[in-house]
Structure 1
Amino acid sequence: MPQILINGYFLCRNLTGIERFAFELTKRLDELSAFEEISIIVPGDIVTLPPYKNLRIILHKKKEPHIWWQMVTLQLFLLTHREYIILEFANTILPFFPGIVFLHDIYCEFFPEDFRGLKNWLVRLYNKWQYRLIAKHAKRIITVSKFSRSQIADAYNIDSHNISVVYNGWEHFKNIVPDYSIFNEHPEFKARGYFFTLGSLSMRKNILWIIKYASKHPQTMFAVSGTSLPVLKVRELEDTTAPSNILLLGYLSDSKVKALMERCRAFLMPSYYEGFGIPPLEALSCGAEIIISNAASLPEIYGNTAHYIDPYNTDIDLEELMQNPIEKPDALLAKYSYDNSARQVYELLKEFR
């Protein structure tokens, strides 16, 4: 009988976005499954391994570059362990041993202009190849919103009924203790006196919207946290200079992020493309109001709990926008739960055992 094998390479990375999603669902699959009912394979020299109680842990070789782990190490392992079906959380598939795959979105298919330069062009080419392999050969495709399901089905001519939707969650944020020292480091951030943005700061996160808006409203403060800021300035903003009322904070710990979310005027996400968009969910769990774009999956996910902006138009007043009534997020937070999602995945996995 086939056994499920989780690709545990996400444990070698920082827990943001997809890696966080994989970590939280794997932790709950460990709780739901019987002893050694599901296995997980990870590099043998991993620094920190969660204390799984039921998952069978396979420590295999040492940490390698991700593409080598995917294309060589895992496939050689499965060549001699054909009893396994691989579960992939991160938009990837093994060409010779396709399994069950989470395909969160297909951004690269719709915004080729965002992939500038040779390196990014190669990244897009690799992603397109992987996504088309997933569409053709995956034993089951799982995605994170109805929006993504529709796009995947249309782009690759797949029956949407063959694509499962499993939503993200937010409960990891409950256990984070806010670190208010961020306000000593940046006394210019007064309670309810700034808008806060968090993300990877890739093209689709649309930081340029904030810069354009901030230039028109010099009295409004913006705190922006995210990685790859040097790349951002070169590739996204080109010659644009951030005005003085925007503070680019770079990477921040979850504790400082939570502190900023708790005290912000609102959490702002002007992205023009998201497969789900977890940060607004985290912000809602902190009691913050959210202002998000009316594009891609965001209206589907957040419904009437959010204020909406056009990601291509900065001719609005955020303060006026926030006067509009919105729904409380209680029902939304109950709906988008890692516990619910893990149970759904566990039931899906039963089809393959």
Structure 2
Amino acid sequence: MILINGNFLCRNLTGIERFAWETCRQLDLIVSKEDNIALYAPANAKSVPEYKNIKIIVSKKSIKSFPFWDMGTFSSACKKLKATGLNFSNTAPLGKNCGISFIHDIYAKDFPQDFKTFKDKLIRLYCRLSYWNIAKNAKKIITVSQFSKERILKAYKVSPQIIEIIPNGWDHFKSIEPDNSIFEKFPKLEKGGFYFTLGSLSKRKNLKWIASYAKKNPEEKFAVSGKAISGLVPKELEDLQSLPNVTLLGYVTDGHVKSLMENCKAFVFPSYYEGFGIPPLEALSCKAKIIISKSASLPEIYGNSAHYIEWNNTDCNLNNLLKEKTESPEPILEKYTYKNSAEILKKIIKN
């Protein structure tokens, strides 16, 4: 039996959780009941998916602590059911019960300086323990880009044969209807007259770049969405709050995001560290131009379909940058889908 760790059902919906939800949904469409795959859901899951071929097992226990769930409850379930665990969320049971596990990136190892408060340092330590545990004990490590694979290989000296790449996708965006009410809520935003950036307000999303460029170019308008995560909020957020040409949107729905992407001058993604980076893919699906940093996995994923900036240099002109020709994003949109991701995962499970 393959037992999917349902801890992502209790997490906020960021990129990793989106990947888990959508890949499992697509996987359910291409496997059979005879493949013996089940999802182990916590009793306090925010919602539980309905599948036709993947069995749902609801635990009697809730998640009160993610480490206790992974290393205790889920690990015990794997032993009891004699199952191989499938872990999507960068964490897994310790030791031989690690199973098949994702490491989307090793941000906490590569950028320890971004974790400053006591709580964040504890998070960093747990993340690094999880990376090490998966690298040393997983039957198969899955990551989302060649960049992340190379970082894992260098950091943990594992065999290249144990790591498989399953990239992210954008096809969940097809079912989302744009919600133009965002422009009624923020009348300062004129369609086609603003740059849009999306992401959790964590340091690696590099709001420093947006703040610096907006200061230098007061005639340009920026819309910034995202929810703050723990202490990983940069000081530049205060600068953004004080700039008259920046509109901070806070949390926005998927419908709002789609509308903003369809109507922005360009989608800007200056992040300096990404294992994959889903938002620019969503923007391309909305026919938006994308401006992204030339760092980490982003050039690998987006190739010549994007306009590039240096993550630590704002001495550029975005309007001139947008005049440069880019290639059609269609090959990228065809390559990176959750349907394709599920097909790769099915092969790994079969093996």
Could you state the TM-score of these two structures normalised by the residue count of structure 2?
0.95
**CA shift digits 1:303-345 (9 cap, x unpaired):** 0000000000001010011111001111110010111110010
Residue identity opposite 1:34 in structure 2: S
- Aligned counterparts of 2:235 and 2:83: Cα–Cα separation in 1: 42
Residue identity opposite 2:212 in structure 1: K
Tell me what 2:268 maps to: 268
Tell me by how many angstroms 1:232 deviates: 5.9
SS of equivalent to 1:51 = coil
SS of equivalent to 2:86 = strand
- Aligned counterparts of 2:320 and 2:266: Cα–Cα separation in 1: 13
Tell me what 1:256 maps to: 256
Q: Equivalences for 1:180-199 in 2 at 5 Å? A: 180-199=180-199
- Aligned counterparts of 2:350 and 2:344: Cα–Cα separation in 1: 10
**CA shift digits 1:190-210 (9 cap, x unpaired):** 111000000011110000100
- Kept in 1: contact 2:23–2:342 (CA 8 A): yes
Name which of structure 1's ranges 222-231 and 174-183 shifts more when overlaid on structure 2. 222-231
Tell me what 1:26 maps to: 24
- Kept in 2: contact 1:5–1:84 (CA 8 A): yes
Tell me what 2:45 maps to: 46
Tell me by how many angstroms 1:49 deviates: 1.9
Name which of structure 1's ranges 110-119 and 8-17 shifts more when overlaid on structure 2. 8-17
SS of equivalent to 1:191 = coil
- Aligned counterparts of 2:189 and 2:346: Cα–Cα separation in 1: 44
Tell me by how many angstroms 1:13 deviates: 2.8
**CA shift digits 1:43-79 (9 cap, x unpaired):** 1343532220111111111422222211221122233
Residue identity opposite 2:39 in structure 1: I
- Aligned counterparts of 2:202 and 2:221: Cα–Cα separation in 1: 21
Tell me what 2:325 maps to: 325
**CA shift digits 1:226-266 (9 cap, x unpaired):** 01179566x44386454111111111000001100000000
- Kept in 2: contact 1:203–1:236 (CA 8 A): no
1:334 to 1:241, Cα distance in 2 relative to 1, 3 A: closer
Residue identity opposite 1:163 in structure 2: I
**CA shift digits 1:278-309 (9 cap, x unpaired):** 00000000010000000000000000000000
SS of equivalent to 1:204 = helix
- Kept in 1: contact 2:240–2:246 (CA 8 A): no
Q: Equivalences for 1:1-353 in 2 at 5 Å? A: 3-35=1-33, 37-65=36-64, 66-81=66-81, 83-96=82-95, 97-228=97-228, 231=231, 235-237=234-236, 240=239, 242=241, 243-351=243-351
- Kept in 2: contact 1:173–1:282 (CA 8 A): yes
- Aligned counterparts of 2:348 and 2:235: Cα–Cα separation in 1: 40
Tell me by how many angstroms 1:177 deviates: 0.5
1:198 to 1:63, Cα distance in 2 relative to 1, 3 A: same
Residue identity opposite 1:193 in structure 2: G
Give the root-mean-square deviation of aligned CA atoms: 1.6
Residue identity opposite 1:109 in structure 2: K
- Kept in 1: contact 2:114–2:232 (CA 8 A): no
- Aligned counterparts of 1:238 and 1:228: Cα–Cα separation in 2: 10
Unaligned runs of 5+ in 2: none
Name which of structure 1's ranges 193-202 and 158-167 shifts more when overlaid on structure 2. 158-167
- Aligned counterparts of 1:324 and 1:178: Cα–Cα separation in 2: 28
**CA shift digits 1:138-165 (9 cap, x unpaired):** 1000100001001100111122232111
SS of equivalent to 1:252 = coil
Size of the alignment, in residue pairs?
A: 347
1:245 to 1:232, Cα distance in 2 relative to 1, 3 A: farther
Unaligned runs of 5+ in 1: none
Residue identity opposite 1:41 in structure 2: Y
Residue identity opposite 1:269 in structure 2: F
1:104 to 1:79, Cα distance in 2 relative to 1, 3 A: same
Give the share of equivalent positions with the same residue, in percent. Answer: 50
- Kept in 2: contact 1:45–1:61 (CA 8 A): no
Residue identity opposite 2:193 in structure 1: G
SS of equivalent to 2:304 = helix
- Aligned counterparts of 1:223 and 1:239: Cα–Cα separation in 2: 15
- Aligned counterparts of 1:345 and 1:79: Cα–Cα separation in 2: 22
1:218 to 1:232, Cα distance in 2 relative to 1, 3 A: farther
SS of equivalent to 1:28 = helix
Name which of structure 1's ranges 238-247 and 279-288 shifts more when overlaid on structure 2. 238-247
SS of equivalent to 2:154 = helix
